[in-house]
Structure 1
Amino acid sequence: MDLSSLHTFRVAACDLNGQMRGKRVPPSYAPKLEKGVVRMPFSALNVDLWGADIDGSPLVFESGDADGVLLPTDRGPVPMPWLDTPTALIPMGLYDDNGTPFSGDPRHALASILSRYAKRGWSVIAATELEFTLLDASGSQPKPPLNPVTGRRLSDEAVLSIAQMDAFDSFFTDLYDGCAAMGIPAQTAISESGIGQFEINLSHQDALRCADDTWLFKALTRGLARKHGFTATFMAKPYADDAGNGMHVHFSVTDGSGRNVFDNGGPDGTEILRAAVAGCLSAMPGSTLIFAPHGNSYTRLVPGAHAPTGASWAYENRTAAIRIPGGAPAARRIEHRVAGGDINPYLMLTAVLGAALVGIEDDLRPPPPIKGNAYELDGVPQLAGDWKSSIAAFETDPIITRIFSKELVRNLAMTKRQEIARFSDRPSDEHWLSYLEAV
């Protein structure tokens, strides 16, 4: 992409809440980006949901709010089709002056886990399924959008409805065109079970590229929805009495010859697959804060609401937190079904893939796969039940310390405690406005 023809372009890294933090710079900066011409405080990736510094953060009050260096990732520049003026975004990572990755950068956290797979000669292939809701946010409470064809407000569920998809054809055509322009591998789109809810799947690819594309896809979807006169939100529960937005991730692991290490030629998969499942189950309670990072997230995590609340696994069973899909043995994979649509994709994949690796490293064994409805089973370890307890679990879980740096654990815990305090000072019926397009 020719940056010299643009008026300006954006450089941005991902903060702990998955928001873009960076700068608008002139084209003259393009050839100097690799030299570290753009600097940004380390604390910028550790602000709260509204962009405020964290009270008492060592990044601000002990280090003097020092600057780091923004360097381009290997993702390269991408267009920003939701803006009227042609421009580009270059995803960046944050480093210190010696070139050491900043441990509070979510993308670096995922890269660190993937490097541990690489030391085994393995690569991780991943894909995400993203649910989002289109709505009208012009009033004091969210409402379903107007059907562009009939002009009437949506009022009913429309599972797998082609008519519902076709009513929003202009938006989805622009969305697919935007994905193509940005190099995001969008696959199938469906109308989901919630009012105005849809799902788009991204294809299987390198896990770090998967996280990049998931992060960019969320920005693209929100931006294009605004251009079409409504709002797209990935918040976990836009309406209290309707379906929530989830984000499932599928992953497999290949060795140096390209062989899937989960494939044993049959439906059960290998011992390595079961060790990875066991790691995911063991880390799940402590990882709740990653899968449910906001207060609104916990209104989705209720039994029977199509969002797993217990750490169980099964073959071809969508009530379980971990599902092993059927199909050809060569494509044997793990589907992790816990996360909400409001997650940070880098942190989510770090938690999932890090937990799987711990299971493999420790040669863990999972309990027997469940049969029947997971919501009706007793004795299944449960995820943290609320926002506050999930923070405590994240800080103290021994598996988490093997996945995330101490600095990132501290920063995320401080961020979430500040958000709890700030939300307590705001009327509860206005909380949705803070989440609407921020997550």
Structure 2
Amino acid sequence: MTSYFDRLPQAAQAYLQDKKLDEVECVIADLPGIARGKAVPAAKFERLTHFHLPNSIFYQTITGDWGEDEELGGFTEPDMILKPVMDTATAAPWTQDGTLQVIHDAYDQKGNPVPLAPRNVLKRVVELYNAEGWTPIVAPEMEFYLVGRNTDPAQSIVPMMGRTGRPAAARQAYSLTAVDEYGPVIDDIYSFAEIQGFEIDGITQEGGAGQVEINLRHGDPVKLADEIFYFKRLIREAALKHDCFATFMAKPIEGEPGSAMHIHHSIVDSTGRNLFAGPQGGETDAFFHFIGGLQEHLPSVVALLAPYVNSYRRYVKDHAAPINLEWGRDNRTTGIRIPISEPSARRVENRIAGMDCNPYLGIAASLACGYLGMKNEVWPDKRYHGDAYEAEDAIPRGVYAALDLFNEAKEMHEVLHPEFARVYSLVKMTEYDEFLQVISPWEREHLLLNV
């Protein structure tokens, strides 16, 4: 066995007890969260300490086009140095041969972390917490749809066909019978997750046709973002085995609810004490300041939490997607929810983020808002009672408006990194310009003969 075998996580070691390692996929997430990198023979990976990849991967739009950066003085695509993070090594159990995936961190040629790399953005935010003696804990929820194979983009997306021969049922939230309709896909998700060493806290049917939610156990933000990054591929592969697609689009099916990535947050000190709970179990100033930070700063990072034109189709009143920044206790109509819990597990849930966001950037943005709230001692508005869908809209409703707010948020740029903020904005504006070149069916239907 290779010399690095003992440095692998236990699940990866167990996988290789039964498989000969043939290939290692060296991966890094780009701005959309797509895995970029290289696949190398196992024998070569054993000799590698790093490899090179051009920084242009962070200028690529979701369509594969490129954002032009005038400040570079020419698009020379300098190489980054990518170093493996061995405790992220995990199996690719859907492959025929023994294959490991390993996430890499990006450094420039002087050894500094590349600020454009999403994983580095999240690590930077976590380090700001650590510098204050705080340790952030998150628990993400992943919503997605299982849909029929869609090979023609001109056709509407439809729910997958269930085992009864009927399309997956809508409006059956929490129905176990609905989950059974696509049980074989769920079985493979469980199987792949176990082989990869990931713990699933629960799987439920959501309100949409073929819409599923997977909850992950709380933990370190970077580790959880790594897992979501891996989970998206894992789930897609499980779906493909059963002749369907898994999609993480925010709003794939017209008339159905959108898919969110709700993020639960708590902060602990060096002793592991939850800073949101006082000595007698009461709510602390830090708890309220975190909420205040979310209320004040979330509008400026919606561009990261809702990164595409489709993202804003999810923000529909009364469709399980709050468009307000009210906070409430055990109230799913508020953008910021305080779940029922013991004081030691007190947490704040951000319900604004879409499942189409890059998990590193979504978690980083949410934590950055709370960080600024705690640092600046921002107090929230009064708790909201009742149906918050009746409250005022408080977030931008389109890409252009969201980017305007993001570009103005200089204090947020300092938390995430100014260079990241600049490049993210120019890439997203390029992407939006690409979208505007496409004429939609709605325009052809209603404008062709009527205007």
Partner of 1:122: 134
Partner of 1:435: none
User: Does residue 189 in structure 1 map to residue 203 in structure 2?
Assistant: yes
Partner of 1:104: 116
Partner of 1:403: 415
| 1:66 counterpart (64, 78, 103) | 78
Residues 91-124 of structure 1, C-alpha deviation per residue, up to 9 Å, x if partnerless? 1111112221000001001101111111122211
SS in 2 for 1:12: strand
Residues 188-212 of structure 1, C-alpha deviation per residue, up to 9 Å, x if partnerless? 1011100110101000111111111
**Residue pair 2:88, 2:226 contacting (<8 A) in 1 also:** no
User: Does residue 417 in structure 1 map to residue 429 in structure 2?
Assistant: yes
Between the aligned partners of 1:50 and 1:223, the Cα distance in structure 2 is 21
Partner of 1:146: 161
Q: 1:348 to 1:156 in 2, by over 3 A?
A: closer
Between the aligned partners of 2:247 and 2:25, the Cα distance in structure 1 is 23
Residues 306-344 of structure 1, C-alpha deviation per residue, up to 9 Å, x if partnerless? 112122111211111111112211100111110111011
Q: By how many angstroms is 1:58 displaced?
A: 4.8
Q: By how many angstroms is 1:164 displaced?
A: 1.4
Partner of 1:339: 353
Q: 1:103 to 1:134 in 2, by over 3 A?
A: same
What TM-score, normalized by structure 2, do the two folds share? Answer: 0.90
Partner of 1:433: none
Between the aligned partners of 2:349 and 2:411, the Cα distance in structure 1 is 20
Q: 1:300 to 1:267 in 2, by over 3 A?
A: farther
User: Does residue 94 in structure 1 map to residue 109 in structure 2?
Assistant: no
**Residue pair 1:103, 1:408 contacting (<8 A) in 2 also:** yes
| 2:187 counterpart (153, 173, 192) | 173
Aligned runs of 1:245-284 on 2, under 5 Å? 245-264=259-278, 269-284=283-298
Q: By how many angstroms is 1:258 displaced?
A: 0.9
Between the aligned partners of 2:396 and 2:87, the Cα distance in structure 1 is 35
Give the residue type in structure 2 aligned to 1:159: A
Give the residue type in structure 1 aligned to 2:290: A
SS in 1 for 2:98: coil
**Residue pair 1:265, 1:330 contacting (<8 A) in 2 also:** no
Q: By how many angstroms is 1:5 displaced?
A: 3.3
Partner of 2:61: 48
SS in 1 for 2:300: coil
Aligned runs of 1:198-209 on 2, under 5 Å? 198-209=212-223
Between the aligned partners of 2:124 and 2:57, the Cα distance in structure 1 is 21
Further displaced range: 42-51 or 258-267: 258-267
Between the aligned partners of 1:154 and 1:175, the Cα distance in structure 2 is 18
Between the aligned partners of 1:203 and 1:423, the Cα distance in structure 2 is 37
Give the residue type in structure 1 aligned to 2:360: Y
Between the aligned partners of 1:100 and 1:276, the Cα distance in structure 2 is 30
SS in 1 for 2:156: coil
Between the aligned partners of 1:164 and 1:271, the Cα distance in structure 2 is 43
**Residue pair 1:174, 1:224 contacting (<8 A) in 2 also:** yes
Partner of 1:288: 302
Between the aligned partners of 1:333 and 1:407, the Cα distance in structure 2 is 31
Q: By how many angstroms is 1:143 displaced?
A: 1.1
Residues 334-390 of structure 1, C-alpha deviation per residue, up to 9 Å, x if partnerless? 111101110111111111111111111111111111111111124x6x111211111
Q: By how many angstroms is 1:400 displaced?
A: 2.0
Q: 1:6 to 1:52 in 2, by over 3 A?
A: farther
SS in 2 for 1:103: coil
SS in 2 for 1:171: helix
Give the residue type in structure 2 aligned to 1:279: G
**Residue pair 2:22, 2:41 contacting (<8 A) in 1 also:** yes
SS in 2 for 1:8: strand
Further displaced range: 274-283 or 392-401: 392-401
Q: 1:103 to 1:320 in 2, by over 3 A?
A: same
SS in 1 for 2:45: helix
Q: 1:220 to 1:57 in 2, by over 3 A?
A: farther
Q: 1:175 to 1:261 in 2, by over 3 A?
A: same
User: Does residue 23 in structure 1 map to residue 38 in structure 2?
Assistant: yes
Between the aligned partners of 1:252 and 1:339, the Cα distance in structure 2 is 17
| 2:224 counterpart (193, 199, 210) | 210
Give the residue type in structure 2 aligned to 1:10: E
Partner of 1:9: 24
Give the residue type in structure 1 aligned to 2:137: I
Partner of 1:304: 318
Partner of 1:354: 368
Name structure 2 gaps, 5 residues minimum: 1-11, 443-451
Between the aligned partners of 2:426 and 2:276, the Cα distance in structure 1 is 38
SS in 1 for 2:204: strand
Q: 1:265 to 1:386 in 2, by over 3 A?
A: same
**Residue pair 1:317, 1:323 contacting (<8 A) in 2 also:** yes
Give the residue type in structure 2 aligned to 1:67: D
Residues 201-242 of structure 1, C-alpha deviation per residue, up to 9 Å, x if partnerless? 000111111111111111111121111110000100011211
Give the residue type in structure 2 aligned to 1:78: T
Q: 1:56 to 1:122 in 2, by over 3 A?
A: closer
Between the aligned partners of 1:265 and 1:190, the Cα distance in structure 2 is 35
**Residue pair 1:113, 1:354 contacting (<8 A) in 2 also:** yes
| 1:330 counterpart (344, 349, 354) | 344
SS in 2 for 1:69: strand
Q: By how many angstroms is 1:154 displaced?
A: 2.8
Aligned runs of 1:359-398 on 2, under 5 Å? 359-378=373-392, 382-398=394-410
Q: How much identity, in percent, do the aligned residues show? A: 31
Between the aligned partners of 2:64 and 2:98, the Cα distance in structure 1 is 26
Between the aligned partners of 1:270 and 1:373, the Cα distance in structure 2 is 26
**Residue pair 2:24, 2:100 contacting (<8 A) in 1 also:** yes
Give the residue type in structure 2 aligned to 1:409: A
RMSD (Å), alpha carbons: 1.9
